Amino acid sequence: MAQAIRIKGGRIYDPLNGLDGVVKDLCVEDGKIVEECQETAEVIDAENLVVFPGGVDVHTHIASPAVNAARALRPEDHRLLCCPRKPGMRSGVGHTIPSTFTTGYLYSRLGYTTVIEAATPPIGTRHTHEELNDVPMVDKGCLLLMGNNEFILQYLKLGELDKIKRYVAWLLNSLKGFGIKLVNPGGVEQWKYGKDVEGLDEKVNHFDVTPRQILQALTWVNEELGLPHSIHIHANRLGVPGNYEVTLETMRALEGKRVHMAHVQFNSYGGDDYLNMTSKAKEMTDYINQHRNVTVDVGQVIFGDATTITADGPWQYRLHKLTGNKWYNYDVEVETGAGVVPYTYREKNNVNALQWAIGLETFLLIKDPWRVFLSTDHPNGGPFLYYPWVIKLLMDAEFRTQMLKRVHKHVLTRTLLPKLSREYSLYEMAIITRAGPARALGLRNKGHLGPGADADIAIYADNTDKEEMFDRAVYVLKDGKIVVRDGEVVQSVPGRTIFTDVPADDDIMNELREQFENYYTVEIGNFPIPLEELPFHQAVPTNRSA
């Protein structure tokens, strides 16, 4: 087990430790990065290669009841990419909603070693964990959906913030969640009777509370509990022209608090319909640049097939009406909703081209790379398989110029993209795909290559074509084991489920018992997930206990 490896002579990009292309050896022992190499260490010759920490995806959808519903919905998508069984590895299907084993292999090939499933309904979290148990190669955690939880809304109505805090702690503790996710706060509750909310101060049906109150209460709880990750928000009015105002308003409402705005591209639209839609990336990024409490992931759009999967039920209904595509909806008692609609982004489509450009503007206009992270909101903006294409767009202004000639002409007049000549460096790329998201998630052992870090390492062959460079890693080490060699997975490792170690509070469970019985349909005793159900796991301490 005590495997020691010396990665020899690679160019190291380790932003958390300030290493910008420094050539030096890296030593690995017992799954960790160490100061000194053992003499007997196996040597990986990394001369002329680029060494990055393993990739960290702060926002993806790879396992949840809704993700699995999307798989079941789309046999036509799976037929496009079949992955045969290999010794020690399982078969599967790929493309926009890969099967679990394949998800792990595909992420690993790209050099990713940690991914966060960004939305699981509490009552379906046993399912999410069972799926994640079948996603090999990467460490993974899940964010619990809470922004429309009726118990929370009820407590909020009664002004019992402390009970919200205890309830949230109980949810995280008993379900082995990593953090708190809000999706269209208040809006999904409205959707349960077929409606949505328009703004932050609209009252939510039956509960006499507003999205603003929900946002502020859960952000307070997040900080009170000292969760490693900030509150993680999918703002109201996603996908709708003119939504940048409510997004700005959301950030203002939480001014001064740590906040992560998810797939912000989908929330940066001006105009009042899809014909006159414009980019408001400038307004959004101006705010973000001035407010250091905000981190974002972009939700970059990829041209081609996507599958939209979100807890934002009302948005999915709108998308179904816009496209005529098949529509799956799944409202979850007490907690949340979900919807799935297949979607294809087209270069020549006015809206899609703007979405593509707004994502790139967001990347290029945010000055501090530590606060903007690479995501496609997989598979909403497109599959994670296309991250290398996004990297090329960010690192190669000439390639962007070529793309600008192909996409719908509105991009030229309604966005700043044609004027932006910034190119990301490798160092910055290591920040937005590794160091930044790891820091935002509060994962101290991830996203860097200093002693004590998990030996999650991705090694690439430098190449002027950055898409080719990042398409397949030459080596990937997961916990110090070589799992990818020459772009192919050579060894399957299970990966760990990471969750936040929030102290338990059994009293709140007894207080909840009656409402639970009245409004849920399962016994409260059957709700918590014992640790034995997660064969490979790791608890992350809160900032309170640290």
Partner 1 sequence: MTAVKELTVVKDVTCPFCGVTCDDLEVHVDNGKIVVVKNACVLGKDTFLHHHEGLATPRIDGKPASIDECIEVAADILVKAKYPLIYGLDSTELHAHRKAIELAEILGANIDHTSSVCHAPSLQAVQTVGLPSCTVGEVKNRADLVIFWGCNPAEAHPRHPTRYSVTAKGMFTPMGKKDRKVIHVDVRRTPTSRMADTFIQIKPHSDYEVFSTLTALVNGHDLDVPEVGGVPLGEWRDLVELMKGAKFGILYWGMGLTMTRGKYHNIVSLVRLIQEMNRFTKFLGAPLRGHGNVVGMAQVLTWQTGYPFAVNMSRGYPRFNPGEFSVADLLGRGEIDAAFIIAADAVGNFPAKAAEHLKSIPLIAVDPKESETTKVAKVVIPVAQAAVAAPGVAYRMDHIPLPMKKVVDSPYPSDRELLDRLIARVLEKRKDGQSGRKRVAGRPRG
Partner 2 sequence: MTAQPMEEIVLTFKGTRGSTIPLEADPITPDVLQLKFRPEIERLPLYHGNEQVLLGDFFTVKGERSNQIRVQGDLSLVKNIGAGMQAGRIVVEGNIGMHVGARMSGGEIEIHGNADDWAGAEMTGGLLWIKGNAGNRAGSAYRGSKYGMRGGVILIEGSGGHEVGGYMRRGLIVVRGDVEDHTGARMVAGSIFVLGRLGARTGGGMKRGSIVCFHTPDMLPTFRLTSTYTPLFIPIFLRSLQARGFSVSEVQRARHFTRYCGDMAELGKGEILVCQG
Which residues make up the interface to partner 1 (CB under 8 A)?
63, 65, 68-69, 71-75, 78, 82-87, 90-93, 97-101, 123-124, 126-127, 130-131, 134, 150, 192-194, 206, 317, 320, 326-334, 340-341, 518-523, 525-526
Asked if residues 44 and 5 have their Cβ atoms less than 8 Å apart, the reply is yes
Give the Cα separation of 423 and 405 in Å (integer): 19
Closest CA to 303 of 387, 382, 405, 206: 382
For partner 2, the closer CB: 71 or 478: 71
Closest CA to 248 of 230, 227, 232, 270: 270
Closest CA to 175 of 546, 544, 509: 509
The option from partner 1, partner 2, none interacting with 127 (CB < 5 to 8 A, set by class) reads partner 1
Using CB under 8 A as the binding rule, whether residue 80 contacts partner 2 is answered as no
Give the Cα separation of 188 and 313 in Å (integer): 6
Of 14, 29, 57, 77, the residue at the interface with partner 2 (CB under 8 A) is: 77
Q: Which residues fall within 8 angstroms of residue 523, CB to CB, at 6 or more apart?
A: none
The alpha carbon of 231 is separated from its chain's Cα centroid by a whole number of angstroms, namely 13
For partner 2, the closer CB: 73 or 477: 73
Using CB under 8 A as the binding rule, whether residue 74 contacts partner 2 is answered as yes
The option from partner 1, partner 2, none interacting with 327 (CB < 5 to 8 A, set by class) reads partner 1
Smallest gap from Cβ 345 to partner 1, in A, equals: 20
Using CB under 8 A as the binding rule, whether residue 73 contacts partner 2 is answered as yes
Asked if residues 120 and 142 have their Cβ atoms less than 8 Å apart, the reply is yes
The option from partner 2, partner 1, none interacting with 193 (CB < 5 to 8 A, set by class) reads partner 1
**DSSP-derived 3-state class of residue 129:** helix
Smallest gap from Cβ 344 to partner 1, in A, equals: 16
The option from partner 1, partner 2, none interacting with 427 (CB < 5 to 8 A, set by class) reads none
**DSSP-derived 3-state class of residue 143:** strand
Q: Which helix (H) or strand (E) holds 480?
A: none
For partner 1, the closer CB: 74 or 466: 74
For partner 1, the closer CB: 68 or 375: 68
* Pairing between β-strand 179-183 and β-strand 92-93 as defined by DSSP bridges: unpaired
x/- mask, partner 2, residues 446-485, rule CB under 8 A, reads ----------------------------------------
x/- mask, partner 2, residues 323-352, rule CB under 8 A, reads --xx--------------------------
Instruction: Outline where 35-110 has alpha helix (H).
Output: 65-73, 75-78, 100-110
Closest CA to 2 of 26, 32, 25: 32
For partner 2, the closer CB: 78 or 181: 78
For partner 1, the closer CB: 130 or 160: 130
Given the rule CB under 8 A, which residues bind partner 2? 73-77, 79, 325-326
